Structure 1
Amino acid sequence: MKHKNGGDDLITNRLLNILKKSVPFKVNEIKQIRKHVYFVKTDHKPYILKGYSSLQRLYLQEAFTESLKAEGFHHSYSYYRILETPIYFNQKYFGWIEYIEPHRDRFSYQSSSDRKEGIRLLNRFHRTTKRLAKSYEMMLPRINLYEKWYERSSRFQKHIPLLRHYLKDQMINELMEWSKISLEGLKNENLNFGNDDLQPVILHGDVAHHNYLKSKSGNLYLIDFDLISIGNEGSDLLQYANRIFPFINWSMHELSKYEHINKYLNNRAFLLALMYPTDIFREWTRIIKDKTYQSPEKILPVMELTVDQFHLRRQLIKDLKNVVK
């Protein structure tokens, strides 16, 4: 819940005026954190105000976080129903979220202790949502990792003429080869991660570092459930592995030290999925879609992600090929 300056001041001021006229307490200040998300300071207490594209999406988030708390998972925020009818502004329906004051030391995958605490919290989340999955199966989509990654590969391939201005042909060809091996293998394995296959969970869907919040008191919270879906816990654990790989030198030996992930390292489908260069494809597709690839500030992190540890990633792929052949 990090504050940022900027944003559309006019829109922020209009929203502030609406709040002052609508809520039953004094609103002192409003700051935009990111698009459609605001920090609201009141004489009552601070809140996070977040906009959703539909009432259904807002109500789903309210219900889901309430269900988590009811099942004993208290490591997240709560929603408050301040008004009987949510505020509708700028084509968004706004929900009021508990403000959790952050610790001065943010959660980071660079920290070994944070990485290990993060996987333990994710496992606790899965144990809880396993009990909730049946109740939400008609409201949430089932994850289809193959389809998602196939489309991502297709978009990356479509942009190869542009990518050649930044990446060597050999690197592009290797990335496409890894993608092909992974997707063909996953299709043959029918995405069977094996463990708990008959007991789906509600997946978080985006275990990026910014969706972990370390509070001022030192407690760790899991936040932002916009991408929840139904599926095998292995999908979240796979994403977690991909997030921490750059900080453990793309080492399978180091990855095996992480509880809850290590039980999947004998699973062929999971190992094939680890070969897929999801982070590289995702970030290049994003900056090309946003047309920000000509900005040094935007292109540099993506170049570093792709190039700086490529030799380590290549060795990982080589090791994985030997295991799954």
Structure 2
Amino acid sequence: MEVEKRLTRIKENVWRIEEDGIDYSVKRYSDVRDAIKIRKIHELLQIVGFPFCASVTSKGNAHIVVQPWIMDASPVDFTKQSDRRASLTALEALHETESVVDWKSLPYLKTYSLLEKWSWRLERFRNNRQTIASYLGDDACDLIEWYSEQALECLRTVPARESPHTLLHGDVVHHNLLKTRDGNVMLIDFDLACTGHPDVEIALWLHRVLPKVDYNARQLFDEEPRLQVLGQQSIAMLQYPNEVLREWSYLTTLPEERQRILAQQLIPFTELALMRWPDLCRFSNDLLEHNHYLP
């Protein structure tokens, strides 16, 4: 009997395929090593009973990874406390797998180097400054660079916690965190997965969430006790304008017409961030000074 299939392209290398009434996610990797990495991560998570991601099927080939499509799910909304809490729960469970999986031993998982990546991100911003300043203005660019330099200097001086060293998802943008009908969050797209301290990923999660709560870090720390035990380096990470740098650098990769469209969104986004940044830095510095959270 011929198998009935229906194929929908989601992205350049991602498809949704329906095969005999069952939906699958199909992703093709140009580098077979990336497919091996993704397949192994999911296999190990499945072995230890990790509940917050889809399994990998036996379908596909060396370059193609096939997983069940996560039904009735949508990207988390970081403006909602319930979605923030559910996404943190899934990430915390992922990080806790280091107690049963020796992630550091896997040869295809690199260790996350935040300082190196963020130094490179600032350099890229500077290299593209002429284009960015044509939309944003020199004063705003100066301020972004100054905040970035101050944050990097702070990060070089505060101590980093060495352990635990675990699996990090690597890209905690909202559309990689799918909230299901039962309220749980499923993690998808482990392409940037790496190893490191959980604090690093939680700090990156905070960067994604802060714009959705008007940069009110105190609100987040009040509602989530798990944030109150972050290490000093993670607290210092709050001061680095990561989202602003990344979005403006991305703009410079686009054709001019699309640059103008995106700039209309990024200008108010950046103006609000720069307005709130002094308070965010004061909050971070207060935590660093007291070595613990003061409600």
TM-score for both structures, normalised by structure 1: 0.81
Q: Which residue is 1:233 aligned to?
A: 198
* Aligned counterpart in structure 1 of residue 164 of structure 2, from 181, 188, 199: 199
Q: Which residue is 2:113 aligned to?
A: 144
Correspondences of 1:155-194 after superposition (within 5 Å)? 155-189=124-158, 192=160, 194=161
The reply on whether 1:96 has 2:66 as its aligned counterpart is yes
* Aligned counterpart in structure 2 of residue 261 of structure 1, from 201, 212, 227: 227
CA distance in 2: counterparts of 1:322 and 1:291, whole angstroms: 43
* Aligned counterpart in structure 1 of residue 272 of structure 2, from 308, 316, 325: 308
Q: Which residue is 1:50 aligned to?
A: 27
Q: Which residue is 1:65 aligned to?
A: 42
Q: Which residue is 2:292 aligned to?
A: none
Q: CA RMSD in A?
A: 2.2
The answer to whether the Cα contact below 8 Å between 1:201 and 1:233 also exists between their aligned partners in 2 is: yes
Cα separation, partners in 2 of 1:129 and 1:228, compared to 1, 3 Å: farther
What residue identity is the alignment partner of 2:185? L
What residue identity is the alignment partner of 1:111? K
CA distance in 2: counterparts of 1:165 and 1:314, whole angstroms: 25
Q: Which residue is 2:293 aligned to?
A: none
CA distance in 1: counterparts of 2:258 and 2:40, whole angstroms: 42
What residue identity is the alignment partner of 2:278? R
Structure 1 runs not aligned, ≥5 long: 1-23, 87-92
Deviation at 1:182, TM superposition (A): 1.2
CA distance in 2: counterparts of 1:69 and 1:238, whole angstroms: 26
The answer to whether the Cα contact below 8 Å between 1:238 and 1:270 also exists between their aligned partners in 2 is: yes
CA distance in 2: counterparts of 1:117 and 1:181, whole angstroms: 33
The reply on whether 1:297 has 2:267 as its aligned counterpart is no
The reply on whether 1:33 has 2:20 as its aligned counterpart is no
DSSP-derived class of the 1:132 partner: coil
Deviation at 1:324, TM superposition (A): 4.5
Identity percentage of aligned residues: 22
Q: Which residue is 1:251 aligned to?
A: 216
Over residues 7-63 of structure 1, what are the superposed CA-to-partner deviations in whole Å (9 max), with x where a residue is unaligned? xxxxxxxxxxxxxxxxx9624321111120001112251111101122221122112
What residue identity is the alignment partner of 2:107? M
DSSP-derived class of the 1:261 partner: helix
DSSP-derived class of the 1:279 partner: helix
TM-score for both structures, normalised by structure 2: 0.89
